[in-house]
């Protein structure tokens, strides 16, 4: 394999084109696109998101100590991009896009109805890394749109048509290759 070398850059892609959401202190919802986000711990179930402190969403999360993670689908790619190129300091992105909000049950977070996956998080740690802060959120509840639940009752990412991001572009998921652990299963 011939390798092309590059200087350090964000290269761990694809990533979810997630919408990270929070309320302001008057109960107005905001969200921003965040691709630098990952599951990080199983017990307690925890996610981590890298957010620059100049983002309005950072300010809201720091105050509220909770946030939502919403995974959009391909049909909402334009809205998902919009949430990443304008600031909630300047406009109401929900009004602008027509996306709608439902309230979390465990913490006071806005969750996005049109996104097939929604996660409610309580902030557990915030660490300054450099330009970005790593915000750790314990997952308190997860919601799946019923349209992405397969006949066995499990969530299926292909059915959700989840939007992913990397190297300056948005992508869709193409196909399911195999199940977890399939490499160790005996062929019949
Ligand atoms: C695809 C995409 C991914 C992004 N990922 C991140 C990210 O992981 N962390 C971050 O701080 N900003 C990220 N941004 C930039 C913010 O979403 C953007 O600055 C947004 O306007 C902030 O909104 P706010 O001021 O309402 O919080 C991303 C933008 C796009 C379009």
SS3 57: helix
Q: Which residue's CA lies nearest to atom 5 of ligand 1?
A: 34
Domain 15-172: homologous superfamily in CATH: Electron Transport, Fmn-binding Protein; Chain A (2.30.110.10)
Show the ligand 1 pocket: residues with CB < 6 angstroms.
Answer: 17, 30, 32-36, 50-52, 55-57, 81, 84-89, 132, 165
Under a CB-based contact definition with an 8 Å cutoff, are residues 34 and 124 in contact?
no
Share of the chain above pLDDT 70, in %: 99
Report the mean per-residue pLDDT for the chain.
97
Residue 185 has a pLDDT of 81
pLDDT digit string (tens) for 52-61?
999 999 999 9
Domain spans, the chain: 15-172
Whether 75 shows a pLDDT value over 70: the answer reads yes
> What per-residue confidence (pLDDT) applies to 188?
54
DSSP assignment of 5-48 equals ---S------EE-EEEEEE-TTS-EEEEEE-SEEEEEETTEEEE
Mean pLDDT of 100-111: 98
Global model pTM greater than 0.95: yes
């Amino acid at each position: 394999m011939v390798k092309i070398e590059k200087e350090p850059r964000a290269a761990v892609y694809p990533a979810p084109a997630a919408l990270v959401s929070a309320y302001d202190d008057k109960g107005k919802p905001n969200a921003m696109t965040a691709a630098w986000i990952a599951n990080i711990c199983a017990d307690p179930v925890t996610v981590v998101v890298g957010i620059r402190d100049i983002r309005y969403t950072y300010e809201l999360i720091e105050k509220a100590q909770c946030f939502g993670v919403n995974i959009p689908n391909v049909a909402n790619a334009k809205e998902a991009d919009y949430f990443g190129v304008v600031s909630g300091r300047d406009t109401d992105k929900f009004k602008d896009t027509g996306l709608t909000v439902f309230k979390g049950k465990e913490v006071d977070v806005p969750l996005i109805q049109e996104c097939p996956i929604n996660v409610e998080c309580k902030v557990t740690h915030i660490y300054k890394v450099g330009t970005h802060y790593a915000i750790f959120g314990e997952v308190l509840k997860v919601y799946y749109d019923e349209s992405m639940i397969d006949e066995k009752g499990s969530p299926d990412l292909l059915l959700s048509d989840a939007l992913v991001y990397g190297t300056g572009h948005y992508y869709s998921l193409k196909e399911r290759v195999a199940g977890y652990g399939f490499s160790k299963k005996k062929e019949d």
